[in-house]
Amino acid sequence: MRSFHNRLIAVAVICATPFSLAFVTEAEPGFPIASSDYVSAPLPHPHFPKTLNCKLSKGLDITVSHLTVTFNKEGAKKMPEGGSWHLAGATFESTGDLVIGGEDIAAGKYALSARKSKLGWELTLHEGPGFSRPKKDGVVFALKTECTLDTLLFEHLSCDIQPGGDKENTKLFLDVRFDTMLARVLIEIPEAPKK
């Protein structure tokens, strides 16, 4: 019985050792400090490059990239109707042709912007890198955008590709959130021509 008791104590000590180490760390050999004295590393600056890559099907990828910046409310108020915000250098790239916001968009990489309208914002695509402005003689795709001004607060810009619906009625959306606004655009995948 004593042997069983000793084994039980040994198992308890082995199991408790990693748990006890969670409360003590070593700054330098021989100088243990309590976890309450531990100072964590500072968080990274909130403005960092973010890339989302969605593999939708074999050979069809969508990639959205941008910086995670905050929304300038005062600047947006002063912006004239028709003025564009580059969405922190946002880009939209697809390996296949798509219909985005009712516009036929060929496979490729585009700058993604938000243009101020009477009722909020509409998303646009144009050729060029992020942070670029549409050329006067260039093509700008104005995407049919559903804009909601009073959603949950997003402190930093967030561009996302979101599925919607169910198995029988699946939809795909490009969602751009900044402050309490959501700009949503339907993405459609054209059917492949029948052979």
Torsion, Cα 163 143 107 193, to 10 degrees, reads 70
Residue 10 banded pLDDT, cuts 50, 70, 90: very low
d(CA 120, CA 112): 16
Residue 47 has pLDDT above 50, yes or no: yes
Give the residue with greater pLDDT, 63 vs 44: 63
Q: What are phi and psi of 8, to 5 degrees?
A: -60, -45
Instruction: Report the pLDDT value the prediction gives residue 108, as an integer from 0 to 100.
Output: 97
Q: What is the pLDDT of residue 135?
A: 78
β-bridge partners, 164: 171
Predicted local distance difference test score (pLDDT) of residue 136: 78
Residues 148-163 pLDDT 10s: 999 998 889 999 999 9
Size of the chain in residues: 195
What's the whole-model pTM score?
0.74
Q: When comparing pLDDT for 191 and 28, which is higher?
A: 191
